Amino acid sequence: MHFSTSTILALGLTLLPASILAAPSPPPVERQTSCTTIYPEYARVSQAQPVASYLPGFRISQDNGATNKNDMFIEFAVPAGSYGCQLETYFPAGYPITKSGRQDVYIYSTDRPLTRSPQGIDVSWAYSPAPVSQVGTTRFESDPATSTTKVINSFACQPTMTYRLSIGRDWSDAGNVEFVQGSGAGFRMTYNC
């Protein structure tokens, strides 16, 4: 008697207990999609007030000739062991952003974290971390009907991540961008996605 391989396989399957054949396959493993989101501390520095600290507001601007600049520093405290840090902007639908002129904002990494005093972040135009490299460029936009998220760049997470924001150095015409930076709007860092 001669049996083919398929006949032997079919015969073998009929001898298996029905409970093994009817056992359900394990459920698919769901990929974790939730991220942790944090918002930065921030400080404004003014070229016109080179040693002034604790300036109010979130404003990135310059006059014609790239003078009278106002730059922003943002800084994130990221928990140890975090991975996949992603710098983003997020604005809910209809979020107010005041803009005029040149609005291309360059984002630079810095050579050190911001300094602090009992009053808060103690940084001025003359005494601030130096930019190291440009890590992104953005324009701030808010849609009247839907939320807006823009990814600036992704990085290996560090305990302190500090960035300087400035109207693009390639532009000498006037520009201004202002909004209320806070929990739920503006710059944010997502990680552990």
Q: What is the pLDDT of residue 13?
A: 45
Sign of CA dihedral 89, 92, 95, 101: positive
Distance CA 191, CA 154 (A): 9
Q: What is the pLDDT of residue 123?
A: 96
Q: What is the pLDDT along the chain (193 residues), one digit of tens a residue?
A: 454 444 444 444 444 444 444 444 444 434 456 999 999 999 999 999 999 999 999 999 999 999 999 999 999 999 999 999 999 999 999 999 999 999 999 999 999 999 999 999 999 999 999 999 999 999 999 999 999 999 999 999 999 999 999 998 888 999 999 999 998 999 999 999 9
- What domains sit in the chain, N to C, each tagged with a CATH number? 36-191 (2.60.120)
Contact 189, 87 (CB under 8 A): yes
Contact 137, 168 (CB under 8 A): yes
Distance CA 68, CA 48 (A): 5
